[in-house]
């Protein structure tokens, strides 16, 4: 049976994801986690999913750097809700923003979808919630981001904090790559 030009007996290949990295911080807090051995031109797209427990006694931010690049080569446009206030910001930076929390033990979650293939500016979108404790979620953000290196293949992602040992026990990070269905 055909519905217009659609033949329901024709199968459609949908893109799926494959987990290629997973870690959970145990024992003691750490400052950074490196994911190496990536093939951004082959994989083309990565999804970084994290649940961060603040292990630092104060505010902390979790950032991502491609291939260790710490130059001011990243741009962003952010829409945010903080308590009952909404706003927007635009800036350049030395990393992709991922998530954060302002108090020890509080949680931040984030998902970064990164288009990794070289030949053009690498674009990413990040959805995150920050400063979660009990039933309170203080911040919710949507961030469009870019990395302006068009030449180098992405071979590593560094998840980093500017504060020492801020990736607390219980922090979990997973990286997925896009794979086409056979």
The pLDDT of residue 179: 78
C-alpha dist (Å) from residue 56 to 32, 103, 107, 152, 171 = 13, 8, 11, 34, 12
pLDDT of residue 12: 43
Mean pLDDT estimate for the chain: 90
- All residue ranges of the chain with pLDDT < 70 are 1-15, 180-182
d(CA 55, CA 125): 26
Strands of the chain (E only): list them.
Answer: 15-24, 32-35, 45-53, 60-66, 74-82, 85-93, 96-101, 107-115, 122-133, 136-147, 157-161, 172-180
> Percent of the chain, pLDDT > 70?
90
**What's the pLDDT score for residue 182?**
54
Residue 6 lies in a domain: no
Share of the chain above pLDDT 90, in %: 82
Q: Look-up: residue for tokens 């950074």?
A: 32
Residue 110 domain-assigned?
Answer: yes
113 in a structural domain: yes
Residue 180 is predicted with a pLDDT of: 66
Give me the domain span that covers residue 149. 15-180
Q: Residue 25 domain-assigned?
A: yes
Give how far the C-alpha of residue 119 lies from the chain's centroid of Cα atoms, to the nearest Å: 21
- C-alpha span between 182 and 180 (Å, rounded): 6
Q: Considering its fold, how many domains does the chain have in total? A: 1
| Residue 121 counted as domain residue | yes
Residue 4 is predicted with a pLDDT of 45
84 CB-contact burial (10 Å; exposed 0-12 / middle 13-18 / buried 19+): exposed
CATH number of the domain encompassing residue 75:
2.60.120
Contacts of 172 (CB under 8 A, 6+ apart): 22, 23, 24, 25, 50, 51
Closest CA to 104 of 169, 161, 59, 160: 59
């Amino acid at each position: 049976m055909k519905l217009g030009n659609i033949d329901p007996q024709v199968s459609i290949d949908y893109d799926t994801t494959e987990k290629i990295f997973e870690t959970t911080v145990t024992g003691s807090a750490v400052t950074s986690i490196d994911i190496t051995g990536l093939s951004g031109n082959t994989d083309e797209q990565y999804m970084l999913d994290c649940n961060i427990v603040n292990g630092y006694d104060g505010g902390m931010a979790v950032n991502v750097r491609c291939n260790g690049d710490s130059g001011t080569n990243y741009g962003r446009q952010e829409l945010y809700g903080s308590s009952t206030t909404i706003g927007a910001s635009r800036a350049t930076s030395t990393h992709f923003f991922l998530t954060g929390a302002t108090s020890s033990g509080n949680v931040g979650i984030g998902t970064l979808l990164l288009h990794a293939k070289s030949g053009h500016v690498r674009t990413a979108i990040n959805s995150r919630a920050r400063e979660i404790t009990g039933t309170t979620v203080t911040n919710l953000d949507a961030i469009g981001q870019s990395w302006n290196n068009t030449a180098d293949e992405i071979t590593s992602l560094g998840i980093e904090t500017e504060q020492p040992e801020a990736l607390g026990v219980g922090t979990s990070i997973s990286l997925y790559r896009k794979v086409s269905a056979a």
